[in-house]
Amino acid sequence: MPQDIYEKIMMLAKRRGFIYPSFEIYGGVAGFYDYGPLGAQLKNNIENLWRHYFVLKDKCVEINTPTITLYEVLKASGHVDEFTDLTVDCKKCKQSYKVEDIIDKDTSVEEAVKKNKIKCPVCGAVLKNAYPVNLMFSTKIGIGNSRDAFLRPETAQGIFTDFHLLYRYAREKLPLGVVQIGRGYRNEVSPRQGIIRLREFSMAEAEVFFDPENKVHPEFDKVKNKELYLFDNKKEMKISLEKAVKNRVINNQALAYYMYLTQEFLLSAGVDPKKFRFRKHAADELAHYATECWDAELFSERFGWIECVGIADRSAYDLSSHIEATETDMYALRKYDKPKTVEIKKIIPKMDKLGPLFKNKAGEIKKLLEKMEVKNGDRISVRIDGKSVVIPEDCYEIKVVKEKQVGEKFVPHVIEPSFGIDRILYCILEHNYVETRKKDEEYRLLKLHPFIAPIKVGVFPLVNDEKLIKIAKEIDDTLRNSDVITYYDEGGTIGRRYARMDEIGTPFCITVDYDTLNDKKVTIRYRDTTKQIRVKIEKISKNVLESIRNS
Amino acid sequence: MPQDIYEKIMMLAKRRGFIYPSFEIYGGVAGFYDYGPLGAQLKNNIENLWRHYFVLKDKCVEINTPTITLYEVLKASGHVDEFTDLTVDCKKCKQSYKVEDIIDKDTSVEEAVKKNKIKCPVCGAVLKNAYPVNLMFSTKIGIGNSRDAFLRPETAQGIFTDFHLLYRYAREKLPLGVVQIGRGYRNEVSPRQGIIRLREFSMAEAEVFFDPENKVHPEFDKVKNKELYLFDNKKEMKISLEKAVKNRVINNQALAYYMYLTQEFLLSAGVDPKKFRFRKHAADELAHYATECWDAELFSERFGWIECVGIADRSAYDLSSHIEATETDMYALRKYDKPKTVEIKKIIPKMDKLGPLFKNKAGEIKKLLEKMEVKNGDRISVRIDGKSVVIPEDCYEIKVVKEKQVGEKFVPHVIEPSFGIDRILYCILEHNYVETRKKDEEYRLLKLHPFIAPIKVGVFPLVNDEKLIKIAKEIDDTLRNSDVITYYDEGGTIGRRYARMDEIGTPFCITVDYDTLNDKKVTIRYRDTTKQIRVKIEKISKNVLESIRNS
């Protein structure tokens, strides 16, 4: 049976050291993969290229927070209640399934549940009583008085819970972009798509905080004429950023700018432009925190269009949730041109009424009331022990006072480009995998961009002669000393050694031959053109570093 | 009350954006810290410097495996049974304590337990019934038929369980070094040393596989005259690698070589040589897997000597355990100069005896026996359902057969340098923190090595003039385009801006002034000398990159 491209790539990946199934010697578990020597380098390089775009170019700051996350954080963020998959059990087969995975593609989950259209994929029994399953891995911190915690479903919450500190770091200026690269976790019910659906994955997320009245990016004008590939669930279009925002295809400049930056990153990482598009989420697809979302989708012959990046407008959802849960001042300040004297309504609590009514909580309520600012004629309530308590009108007075203010407070909005590194890595392998024939044999190449190729240079002595070996090893050391990852190889014919390097995507090979002993030059051979040039040994490092940077 | 250095550094770290307590808005939890914008860069830079030594220079390969680890892996590795802390509860205070934390420094844990010398640090009650608590965070994979798992206590097991694949990647050559950088977890009972004792931490580990008959490193001769700072629990000494191995102070060349590489890395990362030493583990300190271990210790004014790196000889412990648990061929081959015909003793099982005795297990036992090779006259046993079963002598014959062998199989030994990145990061801050006075005010500097400094260059226009700002921003963009992290600042006096950069360890500041408009030169100011030179704008990137590399 002919293999499909996924099988071919995963076989090459295992054979050559890109990707191994985790815990294979213990039978393995779906949803976990290891990156071998080449895969880990490829992943590092993709992440560093991402940093080049988001940290260096876009000037976001990077932070790094724990993967273990307190229950309270994820309760406030909505993940405890909303981060679920509808699941059914087959009692006969003793298996659980995610409803979405086992229904017809044309049927919605709601319809399938309502009309009893869920069947066991193994025994065919009609499955009922679908129930939501939370997808977070849970654990406990400490023993005895332990605290509930989860493995983070996204790196984003670590950024949101530090917002007030980060805003101070940025000297209270917006927009403020904050990124995090690290592990995310999703305890899938029964993952069945190999490396595309992982239970532990690597993500790179940017949370960019904006003034909601000013969702514009300072660099927008420089790129407004660039074009995006969009798919609005009906037709595909190529449209300039400016036009997309003007025509309300994309809601605001900030969102459009980060879609553009995402496109730049993906294309420069080696994604095939013909297998790339942005698709807009339909209203019923949106995550619980999003008001608008565009996915960057990459096409795979096996899986079809794969969501690899989500660029969401999370509005003020997360910061508001954490402010509400903790009463921390996580507001930003919109400065007035000059200070204003404004009238504000303050609450004057009456302890003689509060005391009898709220007993030992009265003091706490008094403090909360004094901190409040009354926005309108609504009834007044405070949060006590996690519950909202309405305060009867006779327990307070409202007094109008004048205050000098330098600006007004607001909750920033967030644009979030969120990247699934593992899926991008797989798609880059698929898009750059080339099969051809050489001397009547199958010949495989990975045309990886030099910046992301795991090994940059193969270094070979032409034959097994101590004199050539010595020079080759010196060149190898020199390159490694310039932080260039090399592969030194003295085994087999030169053709065989080139083939090994081509198959793992090494862009350059350097051969030391007998002429080298006289002219101090070596041959550099280029993977994609197979062209060869002679270069002075002393210029190799510079030549290679420039080739990586400029290609 | 005067602050100690830890308090000073943690305050600076929080104020300037190096380190924040995690989940602080939810009350925080001991043992978790966030790296802010400067801390995350510092950590990335330390890890990349580590890669320079271990991946580029020492040619180890890097891999990347999940943090969630199957129960079976950690059962075999001994962590389920051995990775524990002896713990006591105080019923009055409803608190649990690690025995080691609350007994006198001069008392051993064994003695304290035996002689009832454990007292509650809060109420003073004598605490009894100490019990071992496993320190791994546990979780479950999947729902229903879920599988038990832990968060990894070390990255090493991900390397060991892939050894057979990695050995193939390395084309079956030893020594083979494999590294992993990532999170490790340790569910401390009650951590009370701030960032020094984390429940989630970052580690960088190398597992270097050796032929036990040849524990030598190919680069040893080049460095054998270099000196190590050793402390054997009695006296400190400075001794050459060669002498240390010859005199059996250090057991073998391989261990000595990795101690040297560790020392090189730490000193180049900015560790104070006077606050650095290697200390040998006493026999009763050794982890369950180690036969010899040297800690690289860094001195802290608050904490004393801190274990920051452990360089252990794990012998064949881990691979043997996984081979025994899974029967995977994880052996290496020691090739003969030419193939040998050898006599080996094979077992010929007798089914007529095995059948009645072992019933439905007889077939499985037969297969296991046929695969075995008899080493000596010992009794024969096999593992069935996780238990060792002795096979009676009348159930088999032993037959001597001749086989052609190209080499002999063996289980490689492992030398493991294991680095605690967070502790190293903290010690680097402490060792490089300088307090001085300037114009009668307190003045703080972090004399971080340019390679690990989070911000490399401050870029300033001398005054708020559009012409100067334009040039300064262009310089900022050019540097960032060369992957140099900068901090653009136009606020406050130049002195104030220098002070901000000095306090966070920025090695270089560039100022654009009115002369720049004529001579196209800018001023570069060096943090440690406060010297200033004028440099052509077009040469800045090159100048900065060389200064980082060569300093």
* Cis omega (within 30 of 0) for bond into A175: yes
For residue B273, the Cα-to-chain-centroid distance in whole angstroms is 20
Element (H, E) at B27: none
Provide the token pair at A159.
């950024």
Whole-angstrom Cα distance, residue B466 to residue B470? 6
CA distance B107 to A238: 74
Cα Rg, chain A, nearest whole Å: 29
**Collapsing DSSP states into helix, strand and coil, what is residue A45?**
helix
Other CB atoms within 10 A of residue A120 CB:
18
Q: Is B434 helix (H, G, I), strand (E, B) or coil?
A: strand
Which residue type does B135 have?
L
pTM of this prediction? 0.92
Q: Return d(Cα A231, Cα A228) in angstroms, integer.
A: 10
pLDDT class of A342 with cuts at 50, 70, 90: confident
Four-residue CA torsion sign, A10, A423, A274, A107: positive
CB contact under 8 A, A25 and B68: no
* Residue B64 DSSP code: B
Residue A377 pLDDT: 64
Structure tokens at A188: 């899938």
Helices (H) and strands (E) in chain B, counts: 19, 29
End-to-end CA distance of chain B: 39
- pLDDT per residue over B349-368, tens digit each? 999 999 999 988 899 899 88
Q: What are phi and psi of B157, to 5 degrees?
A: -65, -30
- What whole-number distance in Å separates Cα of residue A465 and Cα of residue A476? 16
Most A-contacting residue of B19, B38, B62, B93 (CB-CB within 10 A), to test interface: B62
The identity of residue B368, as a single letter, is L
Residue type, B449: H
Task: Tell me which of A143, A203, A219 to substitute to probe the interface with B (most B C-beta atoms closer than 10 Å).
Answer: A143
B203: closest CA of chain A, how far (Å): 13
Mean pLDDT of A295-321: 96
**DSSP β-bridge partners for residue A229:** A238
Residue of B nearest to A179 (CA): B37
Residue among B492, B484, B472 at smallest CA distance from B542: B484
Whether A291 has a pLDDT exceeding 90, the answer reads no
pLDDT at A1 over 90: no
Measure the CA–CA gap between A33 and B66, rounded to whole angstroms.
7
Exposed, middle or buried: residue B372 (CB in 10 Å: 0-12, 13-18, 19+)? middle
Alpha-carbon gap: B59 to the closest alpha carbon of chain A (Å): 9
- The tokens 């931490």 sit on which residue? B201
Contacts of A40 in chain B (CB under 8 A): 61-64
Please give the pLDDT value at position A111.
85
Q: Give the minimum alpha-carbon distance from B237 to chain A in angstroms, rounded to a whole number.
A: 31
Question: Considering only residues 164 to 223 of chain B, which have any Cβ-Cβ distance to chain A shorter than 8 Å?
Answer: 164-166, 169, 171, 178, 183, 185, 187-190, 199-200
State how far residue B508 is from chain A, nearest Cα, in angstroms.
18
Other CB atoms within 10 A of residue B236 CB: 11
B59 at interface of A, judged by CB pairs closer than 8 A = yes
Residues of chain A with pLDDT > 90, as a percent, come to: 77
Return residues 501-540 of A near B (CB < 8 Å): none
CB–CB contact B141 A40 (8 Å): no
Closest CA to A202 of A274, A59, A308: A308
pLDDT < 50 stretches in chain B: none
Compute the count of residue pairs across chains A and B with CB atoms less than 8 Å apart: 223
pLDDT value at A373 more than 80: no
Instruction: List, as ranges, residues 359-418 from A with C-beta within 8 Å of B.
Output: none
List the one residue out of B293, B410, B326, B311 whose CA is nearest residue B75: B326
- Whole-number Å distance between alpha carbons of B170 and A490: 13
Residue A228 token pair: 């995006």
B497 has a chain A CB within 8 A of its CB: no
pLDDT of residue B199: 97
User: What pLDDT was estimated at residue B52?
Assistant: 96
Strands B381-384 and A373-374, bridge-based pairing: unpaired
How much is the mean pLDDT over chain A? 93
DSSP code string of A227-291: EEEEE-SS-EEEEEHHHHHHTTSSS-HHHHHHHHHHHHHHHHTT--GGGEEEEEPPGGG--TT-S
Helices (H) and strands (E) in chain A, counts: 19, 29
Dist. CA B111–CA B329, nearest whole Å: 44
Question: Does the CB of B331 have a partner CB in chain A at under 8 Å?
Answer: no
Check B35 against A63: CB less than 8 A apart. Answer: yes
pLDDT at B386: 61
Contacts for A170 with CB less than 8 Å, ≥ 6 apart: A61, A176
Q: Does A14 touch chain B (CB under 8 A)?
A: yes
What integer is the mean pLDDT of A211-216?
94
Scanning B372-465, the segments in alpha helix (DSSP H) are 421-432
3-state SS record for A400-450: EEEEEEEEEEECCEEEEEEEEHHHHHHHHHHHCEEEEEECCEEEEEECCCC
Across the interface, do B63 and A36 touch by the CB < 8 Å criterion? yes
Query: A185 to chain B: nearest residue by CA?
Result: B68
- The C-alpha of A165 sits at a distance from chain B's nearest C-alpha, in angstroms, of 8
Q: Which of B16, B17, B65 sits opposite A34 (nearest CB)?
A: B65
- Selected residue with higher pLDDT from A179 and A358: A179
* Count of CB atoms situated within 10 Å of the CB of B521: 18
Outline where A154-252 has alpha helix (H): 156-160, 163-169, 220-223, 241-246
Per mean pLDDT, which range of A163-177, A205-219, B363-377, B401-415 is the poorest?
A: B363-377
pLDDT per residue as tens digits for the range A94-147? 888 889 888 887 888 888 888 888 999 889 899 998 999 999 999 999 987 789
Shortest alpha-carbon distance between residue B236 and chain A (Å): 33
- A351-358 contacts, C-beta under 8 A, 24 or more apart: A353/A392, A353/A394, A353/A395, A354/A391, A354/A395, A357/A392, A357/A395, A358/A389
Cβ contact, residue pair B151, A143, below 8 Å: no
Residue B204: name the closest of B40, B417, B32 by CA.
B417
Q: Which of B40, B95, B328 is opposite residue A63, by nearest beta carbon?
A: B40
Name the minimum distance, in Å, from the CA of A396 to any CA of chain B: 29
**Chain A residues touching B14 at Cβ < 8 A:** 165
**N-term to C-term CA, chain A:** 39
Residue with tokens 């240390």: B244
Q: Which residues of A touch B178 (CB under 8 A)?
A: 37
pLDDT of residue B3: 87
Q: Is B446 on the interface with A (CB under 8 A)?
A: no
Across the interface, of B22, B56, B166, the residue whose CB is closest to A483 is B56
Q: Strand ranges (DSSP E) for B91-213? A: 95-98, 131-134, 138-141, 147-151, 176-185, 200-210
- Residue of chain A whose alpha carbon sits nearest to that of B157: A23
CA distance B400 to chain A (A): 31
Q: Compute the nearest-CA separation of A69 from chain B (Å).
A: 8
Residue A233 has a pLDDT of 83
Helix, strand or coil, per DSSP, at residue A510? strand
Q: Per-residue pLDDT averaged across A301-316, rounded?
A: 96
Q: Answer for the pair B250, B284: CB distance below 8 angstroms, yes or no.
A: no
